[in-house]
Structure 1
């Protein structure tokens, strides 16, 4: 019994660290990989390979194939989560510091709570949760305020903020729909989602990135390493750890990745990516992360 508890604790810590560090590091990975390959094409080749591998593993382990409704549901979720949500994140880090994009994505829990309240459960969030949402968005406004004193010295455009926000909304709605649609077995379903998202990103690339497919052969050794890191570590190991946590760990503990990832992304962006980390970015980051923490605590106290 003691050994079982010890094994569980060890695996819990290992999976948490994996999700914290791996998912936090994928922002810098995408930044490096999009140095040569355009964002939509990067997402396409990343998730086509990761999806094919995950789907193969799922079929071998789960020995089942989804029914038509399950297949269509998984494909829809793949477009919403991967094809739109993750793909525009790659677009965001191509034009903006990766740590700032991570802070934008940290607002996903707020979108999930808001949409769940408005369209699904109709359950009003707790006061603490609403306070957390307000605090988080105040931090984002401070960070990206176009009227702020730091606006003229900003070295990146603001239009990707709207695009990444749209991707966060798509991710939130897809997350809420997963539990309400007939879905395949877990690994098989995830493989279908990744592969479908990769196909959708490929279509976007053909439409919006003429000649992007030719950049694959021009990739640098650094870009190739970043690509394989995103596929095998970011997509497969990262998801595998998150999948285990979602089944075996308390939901509130698993949710802590939402406010650890931005910290990891900011630190790696500063140390490795040489991204600027000004005092106002530090203050805004602290406010955003505090808001996410309040949202998490609010979920604990709400009924």
Structure 2
């Protein structure tokens, strides 16, 4: 299988699977608090996956490899997923996915500041401006608090999570990491430990919640672990180490479409005309950011 084909398959998995995880977390929130969902999902899933890699004979990673994977795990499955899970407690899944769609903007900015020092192209700059306009339309910061469609605090938390995710994604190719599956496992376990710490600090009655989870929560957790984490997260970890970062970030404007569609079908979520307008502006901006990226000579042209 060619590298181009592998990239296309991995992108398709991340597009569809991660778009559906927003709905999965919504169902899990039926009886579990958000940080506990992230903790359970990644600690259990990561531990089983790490055990699987050992049974396959991969052996233990070096201290440097484990430390590097742990750093990426804190940023991605730790901070990034905790932020999304918390926001889903307070906002519709489609809107949360739409806020996460600003990821390419953060990647372009952080890449310029800390990695390549390469300014965005003219088209990419227009895309950044469009994204900012779309966010202003969506968040409507001048409106009174009680009349806003999107609460500013959970939106701010999503942005912090997206910044952590973008930095981790850009940093990953520069680090010496274990083999793909083992790297994924370590990142999940460390992200789960981070989520556990946050859950202990900010949430209550975790044991009671786990012992009394509903059927919908149970099956949502099974889906999040087996499909969202094993399949989706593994595909993403492979992409950030084998594909151009801006190409990988295109999942951010496909996921909202999937999340909005599934939220409408299964839990009757609706977007207002303002949210739909903001969605169109933001996604157009993200598309321009992606199209306007400056491709490196060694990158695969997909």
TM-score by length of 1: 0.89
Q: 1:127 to 1:161 in 2, by over 3 A?
A: same
Asked if structure 2 preserves the Cα contact closer than 8 Å seen for 1:252 and 1:300, the reply is: no
Task: Tell me which residue corresponds to 2:207.
Answer: 213
Q: 1:155 to 1:121 in 2, by over 3 A?
A: closer
TM-score by length of 2: 0.89
| Cα drift, residue 23 of structure 1 | 0.7
Distance of 1:73 and 1:246 partners within structure 2: 14
Moved more, 115-124 or 253-262: 253-262
> What 5-or-longer segments of structure 1 have no aligned partner?
none
Q: 1:62 to 1:278 in 2, by over 3 A?
A: farther
Structure 2 residue 291 is matched with structure 1 residue 297: yes
Q: Secondary structure at the match of 1:179?
A: helix
Asked if structure 1 preserves the Cα contact closer than 8 Å seen for 2:103 and 2:163, the reply is: yes
List per-residue Cα deviations over 1:1-50 (Å, max 9, x = no partner). Answer: xxx68xx86x7766544322211010111111112110111100000111
Specify which of 193, 203, 224 is matched with residue 199 of structure 1.
193
Q: 1:73 to 1:250 in 2, by over 3 A?
A: closer
Specify which of 268, 272, 278 is matched with residue 278 of structure 1.
272
Distance of 1:105 and 1:155 partners within structure 2: 17
Distance of 1:250 and 1:111 partners within structure 2: 15
Distance of 2:69 and 2:242 partners within structure 1: 23
Structure 2 residue 37 is matched with structure 1 residue 42: yes
Asked if structure 1 preserves the Cα contact closer than 8 Å seen for 2:16 and 2:255, the reply is: yes
Task: Tell me which residue corresponds to 1:81.
Answer: 76
Asked if structure 2 preserves the Cα contact closer than 8 Å seen for 1:126 and 1:302, the reply is: no
Distance of 1:78 and 1:251 partners within structure 2: 17
Instruction: Tell me how many residue pairs correspond in the alignment.
Output: 296
| Cα drift, residue 58 of structure 1 | 3.0
Task: Tell me which residue corresponds to 1:97.
Answer: 92
Q: CA RMSD in A?
A: 2.5
Asked if structure 2 preserves the Cα contact closer than 8 Å seen for 1:40 and 1:201, the reply is: yes
| Cα drift, residue 249 of structure 1 | 7.1
> What 5-or-longer segments of structure 2 have no aligned partner?
298-302
Q: Secondary structure at the match of 2:64?
A: helix
Asked if structure 1 preserves the Cα contact closer than 8 Å seen for 2:36 and 2:195, the reply is: yes
Asked if structure 2 preserves the Cα contact closer than 8 Å seen for 1:135 and 1:291, the reply is: yes
Counterparts in 2 of 1:1-303, with a 5 A limit?
Answer: 15-61=10-56, 63-148=58-143, 152-154=146-148, 157-242=151-236, 254-300=248-294
List per-residue Cα deviations over 1:73-116 (Å, max 9, x = no partner). Answer: 11111111111111110000111111111011111111111011
| Cα drift, residue 54 of structure 1 | 2.3
Distance of 2:45 and 2:289 partners within structure 1: 32
